[in-house]
Amino acid sequence: MAPRRARLRRSARNNAYFARPSAGQWHYYAFVIDTTAPGATEITPYVDGQPVAYTKTASGTGAGNFANSTLYGFSRAASTLFGAGSMQDLAIYNQPLSTATVLNHYQIGTNTAPNGPSAAFAATPTSVADGGTASFDGSASNSTNGSITDYSWDLDGSGNFATDTGTTPTVTHTYTSPGAVKVSLRVTDSAGKTATTSHTIYVGASTSTPYAQAVLAASGLGHYWRMGDAAGSGAFSDVTGNATATTNAGVTLGQPGALTNDSTTSSSFDGVSGAASAPRK
């Protein structure tokens, strides 16, 4: 029986290799794993918001869920193959993200949205008590095609833009149930083109940054380690799950981050002993 199990493990192995991008600078990585796709196309790597060419040596299927294994950062089992570098924001979803969503996250985090209508709004406050009222101001929205002619809002996270304020960019809403609410704004410009953006309002919870709000708003998020925990804490909190990651002495928290639209710090791994690990969940 042992050899049969070994053959099964090999047949389930799947990988994707791609050329290393320029060293010595920040890059945004995403790996989309679609277990419903054929083995040859099951893994799609992205660098800086775009899918990249890759090669393979194994295209097996049938491996277990990634979340059923211990997650290690910058190491193999926190004991060998220690990598050196810095990392900021790590998220795991329980379903594949679309190419458009990956690109959107990259653009939001780096302020590189394309020309055309751009939806933006501020929420005041971003954290309210039960029964509290939040104000939203979309006047920062703009378009290279002309003026913004319509502001439509999804204020309750239902997915329906039920509140239309016309050319008025402001609106208020009272929240009576605790939890995170995805608030969205859809703007239409004078050329008839639209753009949408979302923020998460926390009723009775802590605030977050625009990039984190975009990550939190995407469907299927299972775990999200921001890695901006306070220096000396020795752990990365899991924002959406309960898989707190622990670090060792080779990890330094509170380092500069790279996402211009996110104030979270990063954590550096020394390449000698630095590692982090999260339990099975």
User: In 3-state terms, the chain is what percent helix, strand and coil (to 5)?
Assistant: 15, 35, 50
Distance CA 116, CA 160 (A): 23
For 83-118, write each residue's pLDDT tens digit.
999 999 999 888 999 988 898 788 878 877 566 788
pLDDT-derived band at 202, boundaries 50, 70, 90: confident
Give this prediction's pTM: 0.52
| Residue 29: Cβ within 10 Å count | 14
What kind and span of H or E run contains 246?
strand 245-247
In this prediction, residue 4 carries a pLDDT of: 38
In this prediction, residue 54 carries a pLDDT of: 95
3-state secondary structure (DSSP) of residue 212? helix
Highest-scoring range by mean pLDDT, 92-96, 141-145, 149-153: 149-153
Domain positions in the chain: 1-64, 70-95+219-281, 117-207
In Å, how far are 209, 211, 229 from 173, measured between CA atoms? 20, 23, 32
Burial class (CB in 10 A: 0-12, 13-18, 19+), 148: buried
In Å, how far are 28, 97, 110 from 259, measured between CA atoms? 9, 20, 5
3-state secondary structure (DSSP) of residue 209? coil
In this prediction, residue 107 carries a pLDDT of: 80
Burial class (CB in 10 A: 0-12, 13-18, 19+), 129: exposed
Cβ-based neighbours of 189, under 8 Å, separated by 6 or more? 116, 117, 143, 145, 146, 147, 148, 149, 195
According to DSSP, the residues that pair with 164 across neighbouring strands are: 152
Name the residue among 277, 275, 253 with its Cα closest to residue 266: 253
Residues of the chain with pLDDT > 70, as a percent, come to: 89
Distance CA 186, CA 149 (A): 11
Question: DSSP state, 25?
Answer: S
Name the residue among 80, 181, 81 with its Cα closest to residue 128: 181
224 touches 215 (CB < 8 A): yes
Distance CA 29, CA 16 (A): 13
**Over 90: is that where the pLDDT of 164 sits?**
yes
Distance CA 62, CA 82 (A): 29
Query: Please, what is the average pLDDT of the chain?
Result: 85
| CATH architecture group of domain 117-207 | Sandwich (2.60)
In this prediction, residue 150 carries a pLDDT of: 96
For the segment 17-39, the average pLDDT, to the nearest whole number, is 91
**Over 70: is that where the pLDDT of 206 sits?**
no
Question: DSSP state, 67?
Answer: G
In this prediction, residue 113 carries a pLDDT of: 59
